[in-house]
Amino acid sequence: MAIDKDFLAKTQFKKDIFKGKVVFVTGGAGSICRVQTEAMVLLGANAAILGRNVAKTETAASEISQLRPGAKVLGLGATDVRDVHSIVKAVERTVEELGRIDYVICGAAGNFISDFNNLSANAFKSVVSIDLLGSFNTVKACYPQLVKNKGSIIFVSTTLHYVGVPFQLHVGAAKAGVDALSNALAVELGPLGIRSNCIAPGLIQDTEGYDRLSAGKSLKELTQRIPLQRPGFKEDIANATVFLFSDAASYISGDVMVVDGAAWHLGQSPILDMYPEIVTKRLLAPPKL
């Protein structure tokens, strides 16, 4: 488990503030989205988590359900966010078994390290399809429930498109689209009582993104790059999620909450220590189409 019952002793939020509510999470078996789900469940919500890997998703759901007595957590594997009909089936089962959907977390994502020259068109399309199209499809499938329950949406974004980050242009482009999608939905759906926001994590310790993007740097080296001089913790994402879904944020919509200790303001990435040599070397190779 990513977080445990100790979260209840440390969080500033009241126990059971989400009692009777249901959160629907794509990518819920992954690092960041699992933490978000666990926090919501610990504070009273039931949940449905979606993923393509059946065993991983069902195992994660079973483990998360053990965090709170009486918690109901569905693990809906074999769900592809690129196919809106696949998500519709997951929504139907969630409503059938849990009764409703109040909160939606769009967190399914694809990422890998690649420079532009070696990034094929198909690979670029795959990331955009999972991150951006998948986010659109998720909200589309959940829309009737969001309208019915005056629900709230959180998109898991990033800070990679705030500055130019080499080897991450596919993700940056997709997440820039996610931010734009969230902003437009906040305006269009606001009159219906639906809020839409993004959380943009920085390097959060013990996550897949941390392992992938730390570029071999030690924790001490990475921490020196962060103005708050400490790494990001999973609880930081959990608390941001709880806040945005809680009544404390009832007048916040169309916003991007960056959770990175102000690191993005420095415009730094571990990979930039090897710039420009690492980029030019790859750019001179035959292009991959």
The reply to whether 250 belongs to the active site is: no
Backbone angles phi, psi at 244, to 5 degrees: -65, -30
DSSP three-state, residue 232: strand
Q: Which pLDDT score, from 0 to 100, does residue 274 have? A: 62
Query: DSSP code of 175?
Result: H
**How far is 176 from 158, CA to CA, in rounded Å?**
8
Distance of CA 153 to the CA centre of its chain: 11
Count, residues in the chain? 289
**How far is 261 from 200, CA to CA, in rounded Å?**
11
Asked whether the beta carbons of 222 and 209 are under 8 A apart, the reply is no
Over residues 164-188, the mean pLDDT reads: 95
| Between 276 and 46, the higher pLDDT residue | 46
Asked whether the beta carbons of 137 and 159 are under 8 A apart, the reply is no
Q: Which pLDDT score, from 0 to 100, does residue 213 have? A: 65
Over residues 36-50, the mean pLDDT reads: 98
| Between 222 and 53, the higher pLDDT residue | 53
Sequence letter at residue 286: P
What global pTM score does this model have? 0.92
The reply to whether 120 belongs to the active site is: no
pLDDT bracket for residue 215 (50, 70, 90): low
Check pLDDT > 60 for residue 166: yes
Check pLDDT > 60 for residue 149: yes
**How far is 190 from 174, CA to CA, in rounded Å?**
24
Over residues 65-92, the mean pLDDT reads: 97
Which residue is catalytic, options 114, 135, 152, 157? Answer: 157
Show the domains of the chain with their CATH numbers.
18-260+267-283 (3.40.50.720)
Q: Which pLDDT score, from 0 to 100, does residue 269 have? A: 67
Which residue is catalytic, options 31, 135, 152, 175? Answer: 175
Could you tell me the two tokens for 231?
């790494």
Asked whether the beta carbons of 22 and 101 are under 8 A apart, the reply is yes
